[in-house]
Structure 1
Amino acid sequence: MSTTTNEILEKLKTLTLLEAAELVAQIEETFGVDASAPIGGAVMMPAMTDASQAQQEAPEEKTTFDVIVDDVPSDKRVAVLKVIRKLTSLGLSEAKEFTTSLPKSLKESVSKEEAEEAKKQLEEAGAKVKIQ
C-alpha cells in the first residue's frame, strides 16, 4: 500500500463510531453511492474462528425424542395394548382409546435410549412405530 492509503487507514482506526457513521454519510453524498448496497453481488463474510466454524458445521444434536405409534394391526392389538400399559400409566380403556386414533405420540421428550427401548418393545408386539 502507498503511504497515503496507510495514513488514511491509521486515521480511520482512531474514529469513534459516530464519526465513522458521519464519514460514511459524507462519502455517500459526495460520490453518490450507497454504502449498504453490495457491489457485484459479493458480500464479505467475517472470518470464522475454528470454534464458530465447527459449531456452524455441526448442527445441534437432538437430546429428546417422541415415540409415535403409527399403526396397530387388529390381530396384534392385545399384545400392543399390554406393552402400551406397561410403558405408560394408562388403564385398559385409555390404552384401547389411544389405539383407535393413530398415529399418535405415546411418549414425548424422552431420552434416545428410552425411546429406542419403547420402540423395540412395541415393534416386538406388532405395532408400527417411529421416533422423532
Structure 2
Amino acid sequence: MAKLNTPDLLGQFKDMTLVELTEFVKAFETEFDVTAAAPVAAAAAGAAGGAADAAQDEFTIILEDAGSQKIAVIKEVRALNSSLGLKEAKDLVDATPATIM
C-alpha cells in the first residue's frame, strides 16, 4: 500500500460524511489508544522572572459560555465531573456562568 501524505489524507476526509468521519475518529482513538478531545486552555504564566512558591494542584473552573458547541461542552463537563449525570451537566451548562468544579 502506498504511503499517503497529508494533502492526500485531507482530500479523502473532505469526501467523507460527518458520520464516516466520526466512525474514523473512534477507530483511530481505539487503534492508537488516544483521545481527540479539544485542548483545554492553559493557565496564564506567573509574573515575569518570578518563580512560583508552590505548584497549585487544585483549580476552580468557571464556565462563562457554552458557545456554539454546546453538546461537546456538556460532554467535557461530564468528563471533568464524573458524578454528574447527563441532565445535571446540561442544566449546569445552561446556567452559565457556572462553577464546574
TM value normalised by structure 2: 0.41
Task: Write 1 or 2 for the structure with the bigger share of strand.
Answer: 1
TM-score, normalised via structure 1 length: 0.32
Which of the pair has more CA radius of gyration? 1
Greater RCO, CA 8 A, separation 6+: 1
- Which structure has more helix as a fraction of its residues? 1
